[in-house]
Structure 1
Amino acid sequence: MPIRCEVVSQDRIVFQGDVDIVNLPGLDGDMGILPNHSPVLTLLRYGVISIKTKTDEQFFTVAGGVAEVQPDQVTILADAAENVDEIDIQRAESARKRAEEALAKTPQTATDEYLAIQAAMRRSNLRLDAARRFKSQKRTH
């Protein structure tokens, strides 16, 4: 019996379907969610979500958010999320370079601007690492 999974970012539904297992990057560590899991509400850290069925495995980057787990459904409300196979590596490298340049020019204080640049750098690094590690490695069982 599968579990329903939805990954939603601020602007779109990134994934929706019935799956066998969902692995989440929770704040307190990675979590494996199977059908009939106990209800849980957890915050997500920057990381990679893996979603497996009997025949397929897909990977998604997530830049924070929250996951609600019910026995028959996992709902992930992400601050930002995307399928690793959709990541444009050149665009991600350009974004990282822009963030590096902006960090070098911005005073290292806890201003909103500096924190936003740091978040952009973390997201760029996550996207690049995930693309190099998982892109086109979609596993079929």
Structure 2
Amino acid sequence: MKTLTVSIVTPDGPVYESDVEMVSAKAQSGELGILPGHIPMVAPLQIGAVRLKKGGNTELVAVSGGFLEVRPDKVTILAQAAEKASDIDVERAKAAKERAERRLQAKQDDIDFKRAELALKRAMNRINVYEGRI
């Protein structure tokens, strides 16, 4: 079976590098499925899970936005933050979710609601990836 090389990189360094059969990710324009030989493109990513299919298994990586660059034999994801499911500290993610929910419920004038909403989305994404729910 044909494969393509996937690299997921953050400002802190590489998170994932492997050959896979298919990549699925949430772009701003919708869900993308990428197979070997895909046309070249660049797309901004939403907060979500990147699914990497290889040998009948699916690996998940939580990404917090960024960009996806596709070439016929390589996919590069430049993410603001990314974690493999096995590397996620789920207790920390649950604590972040609770903090964001408290901020959103507080209804105070000094709360930045957009920032709290994004924090909640990132925490929920990390929890869902850790638990294998996407």
Task: Please give the residue correspondences for 1:80-99 in structure 2 after superposition, counting only pairs within 5 Å.
Answer: 80-99=81-100
Q: CA deviation at 1:80?
A: 1.6
Matched with 1:68 is 69
Q: CA deviation at 1:131?
A: 2.1
Matched with 2:115 is 116
Q: Deviations over 1:81-132 (max 9, x none)?
A: 11122222221111111222233446368x7x44322211111111122222
Amino-acid identity (%): 33
Task: Please give the residue correspondences for 1:1-141 in structure 2 after superposition, counting only pairs within 5 Å.
Answer: 1-105=2-106, 107=108, 113-134=112-133
* TM-score of the aligned structures, taking structure 1 as reference length: 0.82
Q: CA deviation at 1:25?
A: 0.9
- 51-60 vs 40-49, greater mean Cα deviation: 51-60
Q: CA deviation at 1:33?
A: 0.7
Q: Which runs of 5+ in 2 are unaligned?
A: none
Task: Give the conservation status (yes or no) of the 8 Å contact 2:66–2:78.
Answer: yes
Task: Give the conservation status (yes or no) of the 8 Å contact 1:61–1:83.
Answer: yes
* TM-score of the aligned structures, taking structure 2 as reference length: 0.86
User: Whose strand proportion is higher, 1 or 2?
Assistant: 2
RMSD of aligned residue pairs (Cα, Å): 2.0
Task: Give the conservation status (yes or no) of the 8 Å contact 1:108–1:114.
Answer: no
